[in-house]
Amino acid sequence: MTTSVSHNNRSREEITSLLKEAVKTDQQVTINEILNAWPVQPSDVPATLTRATSSHTVQLWPFYVTLYEAIEQQKTVIVSYLLDCGVAIDEDAISSAIQAGSIDNFQAFLDHGWNINTPVGVSKPPALA
């Protein structure tokens, strides 16, 4: 079952809840609908939280929450999809993957250009250290 999604009148919490439910039920179509309908970025949003589509630039902040949820639930297809859409592999994503213990998540990271030898954070060693 897919749900037609309009973000215009929804709060950040409602969008996050929709995205979390979409992860739980493997509704990549719903995630895609929200992503493609997401509003144009304001000029003060950091570039790392946006991606360009054919028609506009999208704020990706709710999709980071979705990425972490997909990692924790070991939904690797959704993890790969979000990475394909431009959600970056950040310290929280790596920490979530370590906690989830899913080799498939790490493979998805590697497939999307993550360097396993890069420190996880400013004061954190690489993931395998």
Instruction: Report pLDDT digits (tens) over 95-128.
Output: 899 899 989 999 999 999 998 888 877 888 887 7
**What is the fold of 12-126?**
1.25.40
Question: Taking all residues of the chain, what is their mean pLDDT, rounded to a whole number?
Answer: 76
Res 80 pLDDT > 60: yes
Domain positions in the chain: 12-126
Decide which of 88 and 73 is more confident: 73
State residue 30's pLDDT score: 82
First to last CA, the chain: 43
48 DSSP 8-state letter: G
SS3 57: strand
| pTM, 2 dp | 0.70
Q: Are 40 and 57 in contact (CB under 8 A)?
A: yes
What is the C-alpha separation between 40 and 27, in angstroms, rounded? 24
The CA R_g of the chain, rounded to the nearest whole Å, is 15
% of the chain beyond a pLDDT of 90: 18
Q: Are 120 and 94 in contact (CB under 8 A)?
A: yes
